[in-house]
Amino acid sequence: MKKSLILFAHGARDPNWAEPFRRLRALTQVSLPDVAVELAFLELMTPDLPQLAAQQIADGAQQVTIVPVFLGQGGHVRRDLPTLIDQLRQAHPGIQFQVTEAAGEDAGVLQALANYCVASISSSK
């Protein structure tokens, strides 16, 4: 079964805002060479989630995993994302869509951020 992974971010007017997400995508792709890893945005940037999912499905993906790269479960993750997923499921019956919790809700991600914050004390003057 061909799989794809979509990192789903908010988006911004400034194109440079997405640079850390592009680096995250590249790092993730290295670890998953047999999976198409791409970046989609909720608003203000392209591609959007429906557009990217349709492209990955056209390229043969049968299972699409969506990782919201948000720090928390705010309104976009609780309301907007489920609506988009429902639309994707209706538009692409037979495709498996999986959605993870927001990245910032994961214990490992929180620990990595905490480690970064702790390290900032020793690096500050």
Domains of the chain, by residue range, sit at: 3-123
Cα(49)–Cα(53) distance, rounded to whole angstroms? 6
Cα(9)–Cα(100) distance, rounded to whole angstroms? 13
pLDDT computed for residue 78 by the predictor: 82
User: 16-39, pLDDT tens digit by residue?
Assistant: 999 999 999 999 999 999 999 999
List Cβ neighbours of 75 (8 Å cut-off, separation of 6 or more).
none
pTM as predicted: 0.91
Look-up of token digits 């791409």: 38
| pLDDT tier for residue 76 given thresholds of 50, 70 and 90 | confident
Let me know: does 98 contact 66? Beta carbons within 8 Å: yes
What fold, for 3-123?
A: Rossmann fold (3.40.50)
H/E stretch holding 88: helix 81-91
